[in-house]
Homo-oligomer: A and B are copies of this chain.
Amino acid sequence: MTYTDPHLVRTLQVILEFLGTFAFAISGIRHAAQKHFDWFGGYVCGFAVAIGGGTIRDAMLGVRPFWMSNIMYVLVTGLALFLVILSRKWIKRLDNAWFVFDTLGLALFTIAGIQKTIALGHSFWVAVIMGCITGVAGGVIRDVLLNNIPVIFHKEIYAVASVAGGLTYWTLFSLGLGLPLTVIVTFLMICVIRFVAVGYHISLPTLHDEDEKKT
């Protein structure tokens, strides 16, 4: 990425990545707590949410999983576990913060997934799928490990915000808008869609069983 001030941008990106990873790990650990997992189980769930999407992406792209070259993800998950063990009340009181950080993470990881895929020479439609996988697959792994039906398949606009962001990125970039603006608009687009969808209880239509009456 070439911005006006690469240093500031890089710092901002690291902060966002830390917050997003932290919120993702917290989400995994809290879900694990609901099923009375032990500390190890909680750690694995937190780690799975934090790195699962990017790991599946990297396996498909045929590159080394991103977290293997940076111990940050292992440590952030440990910090998240420590805080959840230390104070459930405190964690719960910050619910709104986790929601915001989680959304920032979704936006950041989606964009990171798109850029990595494009950099490896794939088509844009592959990049949109990879961006979505990067953002949401960790949560699906968490739900599978917890023996729950993946929440993104039947509740809330979450993955759709990621896909919409991917399509926005593709469109703006193809229109020649330049990388900085493309990234910023995509980022805001994903955040706004998620905030609006949750704020106004908007969700996707549901599929119906064949024996039900049409509603």
Interface residues of A, Cβ cutoff 8 Å to B: 29-30, 32-42, 44-45, 55, 59-60, 62-65, 68, 71, 74, 84-85, 88-89, 91-92, 122-123, 125-126, 129, 140, 144-150, 152-155, 159-160, 163, 203-210, 214
Q: Could you say which residues of chain B place their CB within 8 Å of the CB of A71? A: 123, 125
Q: Could you say which residues of chain B place their CB within 8 Å of the CB of A209? A: 33-34, 36
Q: Could you say which residues of chain B place their CB within 8 Å of the CB of A62? A: 62-64
Nearest chain B CB to A39's CB is how many angstroms away? 5
From B68, B146, B205, give the contact of A122 (CB < 8 A). Answer: B68
Q: Could you say which residues of chain B place their CB within 8 Å of the CB of A140? A: 145
Contact B37 A153 (CB under 8 A): yes
Instruction: With A55-B60, A59-B59 as known contacts, state yes or no: A208 contacts B65, CB within 8 Å.
Output: no
From B40, B144, B153, give the contact of A32 (CB < 8 A). Answer: B153
Q: Could you say which residues of chain B place their CB within 8 Å of the CB of A149? A: 35, 145-147
Q: Could you say which residues of chain B place their CB within 8 Å of the CB of A60? A: 55, 59, 65, 68
Chain A contact residues: helix, strand, loop or mixed: helix
Contact B36 A206 (CB under 8 A): yes
Q: Could you say which residues of chain B place their CB within 8 Å of the CB of A152? A: 40-41
Identify 10 residue pairs between A and B in the complex whose beta-carbon atoms are under 8 Å apart, listed by A's number. Answer: A33-B208, A35-B154, A36-B206, A37-B154, A39-B206, A62-B62, A88-B210, A88-B214, A89-B210, A140-B145
Nearest chain B CB to A148's CB is how many angstroms away? 7
Contact B145 A37 (CB under 8 A): no
Contact B74 A129 (CB under 8 A): yes
Q: Could you say which residues of chain B place their CB within 8 Å of the CB of A29? A: 207
Contact A207 B153 (CB under 8 A): no
Q: Could you say which residues of chain B place their CB within 8 Å of the CB of A44? A: 153, 159
Contact A39 B92 (CB under 8 A): no
Q: Could you say which residues of chain B place their CB within 8 Å of the CB of A34? A: 209
Q: Closest B residue to A60 by CB, please name it.
A: B65
Q: Could you say which residues of chain B place their CB within 8 Å of the CB of A74? A: 125, 129
Contact B205 A39 (CB under 8 A): yes
From B41, B55, B126, give the contact of A154 (CB < 8 A). Answer: B41
